[in-house]
Amino acid sequence: MARRRWTAKEKMEIVVEGMAPGANISEVCRQYGIAQTQYYRWRDSFIQGGLSALETHPSNREKQLEKELQEAKSLLGEKEMQIEILRKKTNWGRR
């Protein structure tokens, strides 16, 4: 007998059905012909995926501030190089 391939959507529907109040995991697994260990792997993956979607991601404002900071650092580095070149040409600040 060939193994059944489940789509991500089908897996999600099975997991959600098993998570419903009063659901019996044994019954759900028997209905779809899957092992309980398989159901629990799918459920754990489903929950972990949902968790990662809810984790904090940098806001647009934070991204903009980070970009501005990088630009300022770059500009500061360029200015430091220009100062060093002028010092070498003029011997300014040397004893």
**Nearest Cα to Cα of residue 42 among 79, 93, 6:** 6
Give the pLDDT confidence score for residue 45 in this predicted structure.
93
Residue 84 lies in a domain: yes
What SS3 state is found at 1? coil
Query: Can you give the residue range of the structural domain that contains 89?
Result: 58-95
Tokens of 57: 């991601």
Pair 15, 29 in one domain:
yes
In degrees and rounded to multiples of 5, residue 3 shows phi and psi of: -75, 140
* Residue 66 per-residue DSSP state: H
Pair 47, 21 in one domain:
yes
Q: How far apart, in whole angstroms, are the C-alpha atoms of residue 18 and residue 39?
A: 8
Count other Cβ atoms within 10 Å, centred on residue 46: 18
Q: What would the pLDDT profile of 39-50 be if each residue is shown by its tens digit?
A: 999 999 999 888
Q: What would the pLDDT profile of 55-85 be if each residue is shown by its tens digit?
A: 777 778 888 999 999 999 999 999 999 998 9
Tokens of 88: 């070498």
Model pTM?
Answer: 0.56
Range 26-31 average pLDDT = 97
Give the pLDDT confidence score for residue 43 in this predicted structure.
95
Pair 62, 89 in one domain:
yes
